[in-house]
Amino acid sequence: MDSEVDALYGLPLEEFTAARDALAKARRKDGDAEGAAAVKALRKPSPAVWALNQLTRRRKEDVDALLDAGRRLRHAQTAALDGDPSDLREATRAEAAEVDTVAGLAAALLAEAGPPASAAQRERMAATLRAAAVDPVGGDQLARGVLPTELDPAGFGFGTATGEPEPSRSPAPARPPQPRQPRQTKEDRARARAAEAAAAEDARQAHRQAVEHQKALRHAEQELDRLQREADEADARALAARNAADAARKRAEALRTGGEGAQK
């Protein structure tokens, strides 16, 4: 890890470019032309990515909770592909809830630094978090607060950086001959595809349910606040009525006492 480069992603967004160029110049002056070129090539993060990097540095426990949920989801996805989808729905729901929480915190942080996050920025934050939660490379960058760019959740749970090429892979070493496995029949392949499609649909359904649950929860909280305000106002009116009744009783008592004294 390069601590000087990592520190760039913790700066206010408007300071990134000048600090990057200064670091590249310093490395070139030290004779590290290759390092200087690598630093100079660093892209300024988008506001959405900047907010996520800052959130890691300020509320790491929330980001860690998201990454833990992502690890559980990866395990559940692997188990589902192996024929055991029992944990997939709950793991997907938990991951979706953590994404919603962390995206909301990042949007609030962005609003503190400048204009509030737009709907598009919030969606890009959520997409980046979904990808980082299930992608070990993106997850590590998020955990350190050094995401260079937005991520895109791709396929069944693994993300790659938006606009970035897939990392090249070295050819796999030759393996010794393996015993021939029985050929998969057309019916076997069809059943496997159906199982994968069902698991993917379960994941999408669980995510939709989690989003709807969050909306319903927020609505219920707002309704509870409204009812509580109405109850408080009713209590205040009742107290005022009791006080007025007590005052009227006291005035009547005083008039009655004064009348009886005059009669005597």
Q: pLDDT tens across 48-98, in order? A: 999 999 999 999 999 999 999 999 998 998 888 888 888 899 999 999 999
Instruction: Give the three-state DSSP class for 154.
Output: strand
Give the start-to-end residue ranges of the domains of the chain.
3-40, 47-162+193-211
The dihedral formed by the CA atoms of 96, 101, 103 and 107, expressed in degrees to the nearest 10: 160
Which uninterrupted H or E stretch holds 152?
Answer: strand 151-154
pLDDT, tens digit, 9 for 90 and up, residues 193-218: 777 777 667 766 665 665 565 566 56
pTM check: above 0.85: no
Phi first, then psi: give them for residue 75, nearest 5 degrees: -65, -40
- The residues of the chain scoring below 70 in pLDDT are 1, 154-184, 186-187, 189-190, 199-200, 203-222, 224-225, 227, 231, 259-264
How high is the mean pLDDT of the chain? 80
Rounded Cα distance between 35 and 52, Å, is 26
Beta-bridge partners for 158: 154
Instruction: Give the three-state DSSP class for 158.
Output: strand
